[in-house]
Amino acid sequence: MVLQNLNVKSKDNILNELLNLAIEYIRKPKEFDRQIALEKIWDAFERIKTFYDKNKKTSAQTLVTKISEGTTDFDSLLETEFITLTNIGNKYQIRHFETDIIKINSTKQVDYLFYRMIAIIDLCMDKVNNEG
């Protein structure tokens, strides 16, 4: 299971804290706690996208290149996933609560989005942990 094997020991203490909080809260049964987990995991994703540069787009592209490891077309798949996850974070009530934002209506939806996000972060963490 990704949560048990995720190595949250980057040199970025804020990233580590966000991930550890997300993991702690997703394990709780209450919907409110799970929503907090989703928010924290999304915050961690936004943070990890700036690991290589303050310019988020440039940094995210560097991260995608590193985690794709030269695998044909995998960088394209990862770029699409990064964009999709960013759009989900902007359109759904995860980090934003404006009146035009889409509400997430079930714990199952929260779990789906959380585990989708933790999978991409797990992929990123190996590179981030080994950067010096």
Contact 38/94 with Cβ under 8 angstroms? yes
Q: Is the pLDDT of residue 9 over 80?
A: no
By C-alpha distance, which of 123, 118, 119 is closest to 66? 123
* DSSP annotation string for 7-49: ----S-HHHHHHHHHHHHHHTSSSHHHHHHHHHHHHHHHHHHT
* DSSP annotation string for 68-116: HTT-TTHHHHHHHHHHHHHHHHHHBTTT---TTSBPP--HHHHHHHHHH
pLDDT 10s digits, 12-31? 899 999 999 999 999 999 99
Once rounded to an integer, what is the mean pLDDT over residues 118-130? 86
Q: Is the pLDDT of residue 132 over 60?
A: no
pLDDT 10s digits, 46-94? 999 999 999 999 999 999 999 999 888 999 999 999 999 999 999 999 9
pLDDT 10s digits, 90-111? 999 998 778 888 999 899 999 9
Compute the distance between CA of residue 69 and CA of residue 46 in angstroms, rounded to an integer.
Answer: 21
Helix (H, G, I), strand (E, B) or coil at 50: coil
pLDDT, residue 131, reads: 66
Where in the chain are the domains?
A: 10-129
| More confident call, 125 vs 22 | 22
pLDDT, residue 11, reads: 84
50: its two tokens: 């700036």
